[in-house]
Amino acid sequence: MKKLAFIIIGFTISAFVQAQVCTPYWSDTSYGIHPDTIENLPIAYVNVPYDVVIQFKVPATATYNNLPITIDHVVLDSVGGLSAVPTSVPFYFNCNPSTCSFKHDSVGCVRIQGTPTTVGTYDLVINTRVFINNIIFSPFPTPGYKLVVKDNVGIPAISKTVFDVSQNLPNPVINFTDVYVNLERAENISLRISNLVGTEIYRENIVGNKGINTVSIDASHFAQGIYFYSVSNGAQSITKRMVVERK
Protein backbone atom coordinates (compact mmCIF):
# COMPACT_ATOMS: atom_id res chain seq x y z
CA MET A 1 0.00 0.00 0.00
CA LYS A 2 1.30 3.45 -0.85
CA LYS A 3 2.80 5.30 2.07
CA LEU A 4 0.58 8.30 1.49
CA ALA A 5 -2.48 6.12 1.90
CA PHE A 6 -1.54 5.49 5.51
CA ILE A 7 -1.03 9.20 5.98
CA ILE A 8 -4.13 10.55 4.30
CA ILE A 9 -7.03 8.26 5.05
CA GLY A 10 -7.75 6.24 8.13
CA PHE A 11 -10.61 3.87 8.42
CA THR A 12 -11.84 1.92 11.50
CA ILE A 13 -14.94 -0.03 10.19
CA SER A 14 -19.14 -0.20 11.67
CA ALA A 15 -22.11 2.20 9.63
CA PHE A 16 -24.98 4.55 10.67
CA VAL A 17 -27.77 6.51 9.03
CA GLN A 18 -27.26 10.21 8.40
CA ALA A 19 -28.16 11.43 11.89
CA GLN A 20 -25.99 8.86 13.67
CA VAL A 21 -23.30 7.87 11.21
CA CYS A 22 -20.25 7.16 13.37
CA THR A 23 -18.07 8.83 15.97
CA PRO A 24 -14.54 9.87 14.92
CA TYR A 25 -11.90 8.38 17.19
CA TRP A 26 -8.11 8.52 17.07
CA SER A 27 -6.02 7.64 20.12
CA ASP A 28 -2.50 8.94 19.26
CA THR A 29 -0.59 11.59 17.33
CA SER A 30 0.00 9.52 14.19
CA TYR A 31 -1.90 9.77 10.92
CA GLY A 32 -3.38 7.01 8.81
CA ILE A 33 -6.10 4.41 8.37
CA HIS A 34 -7.50 2.07 10.95
CA PRO A 35 -7.78 -0.73 10.08
CA ASP A 36 -5.10 -0.63 7.40
CA THR A 37 -4.83 -3.07 4.48
CA ILE A 38 -2.67 -5.44 6.52
CA GLU A 39 -5.22 -5.81 9.30
CA ASN A 40 -8.04 -5.46 6.75
CA LEU A 41 -11.77 -5.23 7.40
CA PRO A 42 -13.76 -7.48 9.75
CA ILE A 43 -15.14 -10.64 8.15
CA ALA A 44 -18.67 -10.50 6.72
CA TYR A 45 -21.15 -13.39 6.81
CA VAL A 46 -23.74 -14.54 4.28
CA ASN A 47 -27.22 -13.07 4.89
CA VAL A 48 -26.05 -11.21 8.02
CA PRO A 49 -26.18 -7.38 7.91
CA TYR A 50 -22.63 -6.03 7.75
CA ASP A 51 -21.86 -2.89 9.71
CA VAL A 52 -18.32 -1.53 10.01
CA VAL A 53 -16.66 1.82 10.75
CA ILE A 54 -13.35 3.01 9.35
CA GLN A 55 -11.48 5.73 11.24
CA PHE A 56 -8.89 8.00 9.66
CA LYS A 57 -6.77 11.02 10.43
CA VAL A 58 -5.76 13.51 7.72
CA PRO A 59 -2.36 15.22 7.97
CA ALA A 60 -1.62 18.85 7.11
CA THR A 61 1.45 17.88 5.09
CA ALA A 62 2.74 14.76 3.37
CA THR A 63 5.34 13.52 0.93
CA TYR A 64 4.11 12.59 -2.54
CA ASN A 65 6.48 11.43 -5.32
CA ASN A 66 9.36 12.46 -3.03
CA LEU A 67 8.04 16.02 -2.87
CA PRO A 68 6.47 17.73 0.16
CA ILE A 69 2.86 18.81 -0.33
CA THR A 70 0.41 20.76 1.79
CA ILE A 71 -3.01 19.17 2.22
CA ASP A 72 -6.07 21.37 2.54
CA HIS A 73 -8.63 18.57 2.65
CA VAL A 74 -9.45 15.09 1.36
CA VAL A 75 -12.74 14.04 -0.25
CA LEU A 76 -13.94 10.44 -0.24
CA ASP A 77 -15.73 9.83 -3.55
CA SER A 78 -16.49 6.12 -3.44
CA VAL A 79 -15.54 2.68 -2.19
CA GLY A 80 -14.88 0.83 -5.42
CA GLY A 81 -15.85 -2.82 -5.52
CA LEU A 82 -18.79 -2.67 -3.10
CA SER A 83 -21.28 -2.76 -5.99
CA ALA A 84 -19.72 -6.03 -7.20
CA VAL A 85 -20.59 -7.88 -3.99
CA PRO A 86 -23.82 -9.92 -4.37
CA THR A 87 -26.27 -8.59 -1.77
CA SER A 88 -29.85 -8.63 -0.57
CA VAL A 89 -29.32 -5.11 0.79
CA PRO A 90 -26.84 -3.19 -1.42
CA PHE A 91 -23.74 -1.82 0.30
CA TYR A 92 -23.62 1.92 0.95
CA PHE A 93 -21.57 4.27 3.12
CA ASN A 94 -22.11 7.41 5.18
CA CYS A 95 -19.48 9.80 6.51
CA ASN A 96 -18.91 12.01 9.51
CA PRO A 97 -18.84 14.83 8.42
CA SER A 98 -21.73 14.06 6.09
CA THR A 99 -20.06 15.75 3.08
CA CYS A 100 -17.26 13.13 3.12
CA SER A 101 -14.87 16.11 2.95
CA PHE A 102 -12.23 15.99 5.66
CA LYS A 103 -10.03 18.95 6.59
CA HIS A 104 -6.33 18.52 7.28
CA ASP A 105 -5.33 17.68 10.85
CA SER A 106 -8.80 16.30 11.48
CA VAL A 107 -10.22 12.92 12.45
CA GLY A 108 -13.15 11.45 10.51
CA CYS A 109 -14.98 8.19 10.06
CA VAL A 110 -16.95 6.32 7.43
CA ARG A 111 -19.58 3.70 8.12
CA ILE A 112 -20.25 0.92 5.59
CA GLN A 113 -23.39 -1.23 5.61
CA GLY A 114 -24.95 -3.93 3.48
CA THR A 115 -26.03 -7.58 3.53
CA PRO A 116 -23.89 -9.96 1.42
CA THR A 117 -25.39 -13.15 0.00
CA THR A 118 -22.45 -14.98 -1.56
CA VAL A 119 -19.25 -16.42 -0.08
CA GLY A 120 -16.11 -14.92 -1.61
CA THR A 121 -13.29 -12.39 -1.38
CA TYR A 122 -13.99 -9.02 -2.96
CA ASP A 123 -11.33 -6.41 -3.70
CA LEU A 124 -12.11 -2.85 -2.60
CA VAL A 125 -10.54 0.47 -3.60
CA ILE A 126 -10.87 3.65 -1.53
CA ASN A 127 -11.27 6.44 -4.09
CA THR A 128 -10.33 9.88 -2.80
CA ARG A 129 -9.25 13.26 -4.07
CA VAL A 130 -6.45 15.08 -2.24
CA PHE A 131 -6.83 18.88 -2.41
CA ILE A 132 -3.81 21.14 -1.91
CA ASN A 133 -6.16 24.13 -1.99
CA ASN A 134 -9.87 24.67 -2.70
CA ILE A 135 -9.40 24.08 -6.44
CA ILE A 136 -6.35 21.96 -7.20
CA PHE A 137 -6.56 18.27 -6.39
CA SER A 138 -5.10 14.93 -7.33
CA PRO A 139 -7.13 11.68 -7.55
CA PHE A 140 -5.78 9.18 -5.04
CA PRO A 141 -7.14 5.62 -5.23
CA THR A 142 -6.09 3.28 -2.42
CA PRO A 143 -6.31 -0.42 -3.34
CA GLY A 144 -5.52 -3.34 -1.06
CA TYR A 145 -8.66 -3.72 1.04
CA LYS A 146 -10.66 -6.93 0.79
CA LEU A 147 -14.16 -7.80 1.93
CA VAL A 148 -14.11 -11.48 2.92
CA VAL A 149 -17.58 -13.05 3.04
CA LYS A 150 -17.95 -16.41 4.79
CA ASP A 151 -20.81 -18.78 5.45
CA ASN A 152 -22.69 -17.88 8.62
CA VAL A 153 -22.36 -21.32 10.24
CA GLY A 154 -19.73 -19.85 12.58
CA ILE A 155 -22.05 -17.24 14.09
CA PRO A 156 -22.70 -17.81 17.81
CA ALA A 157 -26.11 -19.21 18.75
CA ILE A 158 -28.75 -16.48 18.83
CA SER A 159 -32.55 -16.50 18.80
CA LYS A 160 -34.13 -15.36 15.56
CA THR A 161 -37.58 -14.82 17.07
CA VAL A 162 -37.03 -12.54 20.09
CA PHE A 163 -34.65 -9.78 21.18
CA ASP A 164 -31.33 -11.54 21.76
CA VAL A 165 -27.61 -10.74 21.94
CA SER A 166 -24.81 -13.17 21.12
CA GLN A 167 -21.49 -13.73 22.81
CA ASN A 168 -18.89 -11.60 21.04
CA LEU A 169 -16.76 -13.37 18.44
CA PRO A 170 -13.80 -13.74 18.70
CA ASN A 171 -13.50 -13.82 22.47
CA PRO A 172 -10.89 -13.13 23.78
CA VAL A 173 -10.43 -10.18 21.41
CA ILE A 174 -7.22 -8.36 20.47
CA ASN A 175 -8.50 -5.68 18.07
CA PHE A 176 -11.97 -6.16 16.57
CA THR A 177 -14.86 -8.34 17.64
CA ASP A 178 -18.47 -8.73 16.51
CA VAL A 179 -21.70 -8.99 18.49
CA TYR A 180 -24.90 -10.20 16.83
CA VAL A 181 -28.23 -8.70 17.89
CA ASN A 182 -31.60 -10.04 16.82
CA LEU A 183 -34.46 -7.53 16.69
CA GLU A 184 -38.14 -8.32 16.28
CA ARG A 185 -38.59 -5.00 14.48
CA ALA A 186 -36.47 -2.11 13.23
CA GLU A 187 -35.60 0.02 16.25
CA ASN A 188 -32.83 1.99 17.92
CA ILE A 189 -30.49 0.08 20.21
CA SER A 190 -27.58 1.13 22.39
CA LEU A 191 -24.26 -0.57 23.13
CA ARG A 192 -22.60 0.14 26.47
CA ILE A 193 -19.19 -1.21 27.52
CA SER A 194 -17.94 -1.01 31.11
CA ASN A 195 -14.95 -2.29 33.03
CA LEU A 196 -14.94 -4.63 36.02
CA VAL A 197 -15.74 -1.84 38.51
CA GLY A 198 -18.71 -0.66 36.46
CA THR A 199 -17.16 2.45 34.88
CA GLU A 200 -18.58 3.09 31.43
CA ILE A 201 -15.78 3.36 28.86
CA TYR A 202 -17.77 3.34 25.63
CA ARG A 203 -21.32 3.99 24.46
CA GLU A 204 -22.80 3.88 20.97
CA ASN A 205 -26.32 4.40 19.62
CA ILE A 206 -27.24 2.21 16.67
CA VAL A 207 -30.12 2.19 14.20
CA GLY A 208 -31.07 -1.50 14.08
CA ASN A 209 -32.87 -3.43 11.36
CA LYS A 210 -35.38 -6.22 11.81
CA GLY A 211 -33.52 -9.54 12.07
CA ILE A 212 -29.87 -10.17 12.91
CA ASN A 213 -27.64 -7.09 13.14
CA THR A 214 -23.85 -7.16 13.32
CA VAL A 215 -22.33 -4.72 15.81
CA SER A 216 -18.55 -4.36 15.45
CA ILE A 217 -16.51 -3.34 18.49
CA ASP A 218 -13.08 -1.76 18.14
CA ALA A 219 -11.25 -2.94 21.26
CA SER A 220 -7.79 -1.99 20.01
CA HIS A 221 -7.61 0.96 22.44
CA PHE A 222 -8.88 -1.00 25.47
CA ALA A 223 -6.40 -2.15 28.10
CA GLN A 224 -6.07 -5.89 28.65
CA GLY A 225 -8.71 -7.19 31.01
CA ILE A 226 -12.33 -8.21 31.49
CA TYR A 227 -15.20 -6.00 30.31
CA PHE A 228 -18.97 -6.20 30.17
CA TYR A 229 -21.02 -5.15 27.16
CA SER A 230 -24.74 -4.43 27.35
CA VAL A 231 -27.13 -4.07 24.44
CA SER A 232 -30.50 -2.44 25.09
CA ASN A 233 -33.53 -1.69 22.94
CA GLY A 234 -35.06 0.53 25.62
CA ALA A 235 -37.39 -2.14 26.96
CA GLN A 236 -34.86 -4.94 27.42
CA SER A 237 -31.15 -5.16 28.07
CA ILE A 238 -28.74 -8.09 27.79
CA THR A 239 -25.25 -8.06 29.29
CA LYS A 240 -22.34 -10.40 28.51
CA ARG A 241 -18.65 -10.60 29.38
CA MET A 242 -15.84 -9.80 26.98
CA VAL A 243 -12.11 -10.50 27.45
CA VAL A 244 -9.46 -8.27 25.88
CA GLU A 245 -5.95 -9.64 25.40
CA ARG A 246 -2.74 -7.96 24.36
CA LYS A 247 0.09 -9.74 22.56
What DSSP line would sit under 181-217, residue for residue?
EEESSSEEEEEEEEETT--EEEEEEEEEPSEEEEEEE
Asked if 75 and 131 count as a contact pair (C-beta separation under 8 A), the reply is yes
Residue 154 has a pLDDT of 63
Q: How far is CA 69 from the centre of its chain?
A: 29
- pTM of this prediction? 0.60
Name the stretches of the chain with pLDDT < 50: 1-19
Residue 21 has a pLDDT of 75
What DSSP line would sit under 138-177, residue for residue?
EEEEEEEEEEEEE-GGGSPP--SSS-EEPPPBSSSBSSEE
Q: Which helix or strand (DSSP H or E) is residue 125 part of?
A: strand 120-131
156-244 shares the fold of 3-150: yes
Residue 82 has a pLDDT of 94
Please write the tens of the pLDDT for every residue from 35-92.
Answer: 788 878 877 888 877 888 888 888 888 777 777 888 999 999 999 999 999 999 999 9
Q: What residue ranges do the domains of the chain occupy?
A: 3-150, 156-244
Residue 181 has a pLDDT of 93
Tell me the CATH architecture of domain 3-150.
Sandwich (2.60)
Tell me the CATH architecture of domain 156-244.
Sandwich (2.60)
